[in-house]
Structure 1
Amino acid sequence: MTVITESRIAGVVRAAEAVLSHRAGSPVTLADPEDLGGSGRTVVVRARVAVNPLSMDRTLVIKALPADEDPRAFHRELASYKYATALPTESRPGPQLIASDPDVRVLVLTDLGHGRSLTSLLSGTDVVETSHAVSAWGQALGRMHAATVGGEIDFLAILRRGANGTDDVDVLGEAAARAVEDAPALTESLGVELPDDVAKRLMIACGLFADGDHRAFSPSDVGAENILLNDEGVQFMDYEWGGFRDATLDIAYALVTFGAQLSHVNVDHRADLEIAMVDAWRSEVYPIWPGLGHDGEATRKITTARLLWTWLSTVWMLPDDAAATVEDRRPGHAGQTHDWALHTNDPRVVVARWADLSAAAVRAGEAEIAEFASRLGAALQRTWLT
């Protein structure tokens, strides 16, 4: 576990004061810093604006990345916030960028307030509240996708202007491609044959990062851990590695990752929640992508993306000597994988994801994926849990 010291927090606050003062043209003073936790070695701090020459929010959120992290992560996140902040107010998926300093890797953002985390809503026992939260999550994803269709050229222009020579490759897509390349050998090592059609579907899913019929902006990690519900609705809080990709990757990512918060919910109700989330998402994107109004097409595409995410989360759990090193399969700096909602150190979560995928594939009439997911989940159960 990374410990963030008071001196590190103080340094981040001073850096934010400097960038805000430069932007304002006169001194800005911040006070009462509150450590919001962050992830990995990233520092996230809420601070009160004590002295300011501009009309500015009473509190701001400061996010700082370590200088030795993969620089592409910061430039991706900065470009993502710049792009999202330029959207109409009603279409912004999360906080607004106030100021930034690429040299010290500091972002200053509007404060979304305390609100309520989506994880707490999903882990609660109020069935109606959980159902509403899941539907709101799906709707928010859909609204974000609908609002950003056609914006990829603008996003790439922002990214390339600020990248300072770093490439604009989607590193999560790269990690997924490496995991898929390893799939035949890894499944064989578990005693499970990888059917040709399943291998093909994994390759198709990899292509959704760079291509696809439903391209829109994604913060990248749209798991419940990165979502806050406040008076203005669902807010996506972390844009690290954000970019444009096929939107079915996002709804599938949400489906794969939210199961860990629903272990207390019976199987039938979990299926109902999955359907509610997808229906809420489709209700928002159908006007721009009418093809997704067809149940068979939508389900097939989401199942394909879900297969990829379930496989990638499995690869991240396998021993280092199972194929290429785990570090090679993970995006960015070796420690960054642990920041993703997709990543887990609990083998029971991964086994449950294959069971959920198998059940969803059965409902979708995807017999081959259902059978493969069932066999692989059973093999992982034997390997890890017996």
Structure 2
Amino acid sequence: MTVIADDRITSVLEAAEGVLAKRAGTSVQLDGPEDLGGTGRSTVIRARVLDNPVSLDRTVVVKAFDEHTPASQVLREIASYRYATALPTQSRPGPQLLASELEARVLVLTDLGHGRSMVELLGSTDADEVKRGVSAWGQALGRMHAATLGGEDDFRVLLRVSGKDRGAKASRITASDGGIGEEAAASVAAYDEILSRIDVELPDGSRELLTSSLELFDEGDFRAFSPADVGPENILLNGDGVQFMDYEWGEFRDATLDVAYALATFPARLSVDVLGERPDLETALGDAWRGEVNPLWPSISDRGLAQQIFAARALWVWLSTYWLIRGDSSDHDWALHTTDARVVLSRWADLADAGEAYEVGGAFIEAADRMQEALRIYWFG
């Protein structure tokens, strides 16, 4: 990464020093900022800690939001990191929160190091290496879900408390305020519009399957904490294993949404040499997740679980299609968001294959085939 220096970075460092000083009760000095990217709404940097009055690591990561970011979004990320940081060490899904301030729109996090991105691992030509990686991914999801089962009330308390810090006015947060859930609902509401635009009819019950999947955001038997975007772009592998990053849309949802999200997003990152192993990799990810959560949720049958994951995956594929057809030009940085029509076509094909392999999905397998064909004509003639 490149060491950077400009007015924006200087102000971010000063804000981070301020929130760290309040935590330590003495001054803290940061230097040597490295740009780690961001979403367009946020600035993310790594900085060296020159003064270390509270035994901080030698480097920290600072995330700062701009003034156009809704306060509710900043509040949600602060509360999400507070919640995750309070989990037992072995169950923490990502970096720990060291300090934060809602008014300053700044979070200071532990530095996970450089590590290896999941995107890079998936691009490997070594099928065994990729399989180990996706299995670790599934295990990490399962550990996070298992550790947070029953913790929704605690999370709600943190949302309220975090909004009152430093006298800031708390933003109103509701269970449906998880960002991506609202986007998914909008995509299903546009069902008839999308089908009309690409000139296709789907089997009876197709819309109902998507609508039923929306309920997983607010209900479901397997509610657990989720950062929301658990795709490969937001995963780092280091000495502690799989680490999830970016909690802007952290929320309690049905855990099968996360598994389905991973299954929908990782195949696009596979190398040509490993692409043929996709079905086995999907099975490895799902089995690893199930191994972690099965002791807590033994009542669900394998077939019932497979059907629910299929339905959730169908919703994610539908949402990515909706974004592309509508020409979405927002600053979404979710792994699900793509501007490549070939990726969306592949997602529909993979969905149909998964339904046939697990003998689930019913008429929606045919719907996936029809969508793939209609979209191919729509985009490529």
Q: TM-score, normalised by structure 2?
A: 0.93
- The number of residue pairs the alignment matches comes to 369
Quote the Cα distance in structure 1 between the aligned partners of 2:275 and 2:81. 38
Pick one of 315, 319, 333 that aligns with 2:322.
315
Question: What is the Cα deviation at residue 253 of structure 1?
Answer: 0.2
Question: What is the Cα deviation at residue 383 of structure 1?
Answer: 1.1
- After TM superposition, the structure 1 = structure 2 runs for residues 241-280 of structure 1, keeping only pairs within 5 Å, are 241-262=249-270, 264-265=272-273, 268-280=276-288
The one-letter amino acid of 2:129's match is: E
Quote the Cα distance in structure 1 between the aligned partners of 2:64 and 2:281. 36
Quote the Cα distance in structure 2 between the aligned partners of 1:115 and 1:5. 24
Contact 1:291 1:298 in 2 (8 A): no
Quote the Cα distance in structure 2 between the aligned partners of 1:346 and 1:263. 16
The one-letter amino acid of 1:109's match is: L
Equivalent residue, structure 1, for 2:49: 49
Quote the Cα distance in structure 1 between the aligned partners of 2:109 and 2:221. 32
Q: Using a 3 Å threshold, how does the CA distance of structure 1 residues 379 and 282 change in structure 2: closer, same or farther?
A: same
Contact 1:291 1:297 in 2 (8 A): no
Equivalent residue, structure 1, for 2:376: 381
Tell me whether 1:58 sits opposite 2:82 in the alignment.
Answer: no
Equivalent residue, structure 2, for 1:370: 365
Pick one of 326, 329, 346 that aligns with 1:352.
346
- After TM superposition, the structure 1 = structure 2 runs for residues 128-207 of structure 1, keeping only pairs within 5 Å, are 128-163=128-163, 164-168=170-174, 169-207=177-215
Q: SS of the residue aligned with 1:124?
A: coil
Equivalent residue, structure 1, for 2:336: 342
1:298-324 Cα offsets, whole Å, 9 max, x none, are: 11010010000000000000135xxxx
Q: Using a 3 Å threshold, how does the CA distance of structure 1 residues 195 and 12 change in structure 2: closer, same or farther?
A: same
Equivalent residue, structure 2, for 1:331: none
Q: SS of the residue aligned with 1:31?
A: strand
Equivalent residue, structure 1, for 2:307: 300
Contact 1:71 1:166 in 2 (8 A): no
Structure 2 gaps of 5+ residues are 164-169
Equivalent residue, structure 1, for 2:120: 120
> Which moves more between the two structures, 30-39 or 277-286?
30-39
Equivalent residue, structure 1, for 2:86: 86
Q: Kindly report the root-mean-square deviation, in angstroms, between the aligned alpha carbons of the 2 structures.
A: 1.5
Pick one of 355, 361, 367 that aligns with 2:355.
361
Equivalent residue, structure 2, for 1:109: 109
Quote the Cα distance in structure 2 between the aligned partners of 1:187 and 1:360. 23
Contact 2:126 2:274 in 1 (8 A): no
Contact 2:31 2:49 in 1 (8 A): yes
Percent identity over the alignment? 54
Question: What is the Cα deviation at residue 360 of structure 1?
Answer: 0.7
Equivalent residue, structure 1, for 2:167: none
Q: SS of the residue aligned with 1:274?
A: helix
Q: TM-score, normalised by structure 1?
A: 0.92
Quote the Cα distance in structure 1 between the aligned partners of 2:326 and 2:212. 26
Contact 1:176 1:308 in 2 (8 A): yes
Structure 1 gaps of 5+ residues are 321-325, 328-333
Q: Using a 3 Å threshold, how does the CA distance of structure 1 residues 201 and 214 change in structure 2: closer, same or farther?
A: same
Equivalent residue, structure 1, for 2:226: 218
Contact 1:184 1:194 in 2 (8 A): no
Q: Using a 3 Å threshold, how does the CA distance of structure 1 residues 264 and 53 change in structure 2: closer, same or farther?
A: same
